[in-house]
Amino acid sequence: MVLDFFKEELIVVSDFTLKKTNLTFSLEDSPKKDFLAWNKILDGFVKNADLGPQGIAFKSNKSENKESSNMELVSIYKYNDENIVIPAELMESRGTLKLVDFAIPFEKLFKLGGVFVLDEFDAAIHPELIKGILALFNDSDRNKAGAQLIFTTHNPIYLNNKIFRRDQIRFVEKDTDLYESVIYSLADFGSEEVRNDHNFLINYFKGNYGALPFIDFSKLLNSNSGEEDEDGNL
């Protein structure tokens, strides 16, 4: 059972190792019915996310030998009542392609359940789009399969009681002596120190929850920078 969970229900993606979005597939790798289903998902995703193009879809792209056909991810823009089809790689930003890359596994996740673990999920993606996705995971009417999303971020904007409960928020703080990372929950502070009506974001910047770096770059650019001292050292 444990092995089945890691094999079938747990998906881990690191932004540092995230390869370029799969822009071209061979029909030999996936049946055509998969592409039709994927296009339906992408169509709804693009229309609701306001990404820019009128559509993003997989289109047939005949190879030079004419014996096989590839399906290429393209962007569709309207110009003078015509659909202009352009390879998505040429037109779309990293954030848009990243969202497209997640759209299909997210659809599967909401149907079958499971856990999606993402490192730097919101990198290159507008926070409002991230909030919309998080709302889907927190909506029991839409997330009937109990799909879960675990992600890391450096953006404190999500420290909001309208987005997360206290027990859903984790902080990571590095021990300055041992250089070990310690993970703890906002709920660990107790209901007296952290109430649901508190402004988590403001209290975080006040240093109430820790995990806040205190950095002073002033010494890096002092007036003596680049000059030798009496001993000849820079």
Residue 39 lies in a domain: yes
Q: Is residue 223 part of a domain?
A: no
**Residue 169 token pair:** 């928020």
54 within domain boundaries: yes
The pLDDT score that the predictor gives to residue 18 is 46
pLDDT at residue 16, as a whole number: 43
Q: pLDDT value at position 2?
A: 58
SS3 assignment, position 46: helix
Q: Is 7 a member of any domain?
A: no
Residue 231: HSE in the Cβ half-sphere, 13 Å Cα cutoff: 2
Q: Copy the structure tokens of residue 220.
A: 């890096």
Reduce the DSSP state of residue 76 to 3 states and report it.
strand
Q: How far does Cα 214 stand from its chain's mean position? A: 26
pLDDT at 183: 94
| pLDDT tens series, the chain, 234 aa | 556 665 666 766 655 444 455 566 666 666 676 778 888 888 877 777 777 778 888 888 765 555 556 788 888 888 888 889 988 888 888 888 888 888 878 888 898 899 999 988 998 888 998 999 999 999 999 999 999 999 999 999 999 999 999 999 999 998 888 889 999 999 999 888 898 889 999 999 999 999 998 888 787 777 555 565 566 565
DSSP characters over 182-226 = EEEEGGGGHHHHS-TTS-HHHHHHTTSSS-------GGGG-TTTT
Does residue 72 share a domain with residue 148?
A: no
pTM of the full predicted structure?
A: 0.74
| CA 146, 147, 152, 153 torsion-angle sign | negative
- 142 and 64 assigned to the same domain: no
Q: Which of 92, 112, 142 is the last residue of a domain?
A: 92
Rounded distance between C-alpha atoms, residue 44 and residue 214, angstroms: 43
pLDDT of residue 142: 92
118 phi and psi angles, rounded to 5 deg: -125, 130
DSSP 183-195: EEEGGGGHHHHS-
Q: How far apart, in whole angstroms, are the C-alpha atoms of residue 171 and residue 161?
A: 15
Amino acid at 208: N
Does residue 11 lie in a domain region?
A: no
Q: Are 82 and 119 contained in the same domain?
A: no
State which residues form the domain around 103: 95-206
Tell me: do 123 and 50 sit in the same domain: no
- Tell me if 160 is assigned to some domain: yes
Are residues 117 and 152 both part of a single domain?
yes
- pLDDT for 60 equals 81
- Measured between alpha carbons, how far is residue 115 from residues 5, 10, 165 in Å? 9, 5, 18
Domain count, the chain: 2
Q: What angle do CA 129, 16, 220 make, to 5 degrees?
A: 95
Report the distance separating Cα 69 and Cα 60, nearest Å: 6
Q: Say yes or no: 126 and 194 in one domain.
A: yes
> Rounded to an integer, what distance in angstroms lies between the CA atom of residue 171 and that of residue 184?
5
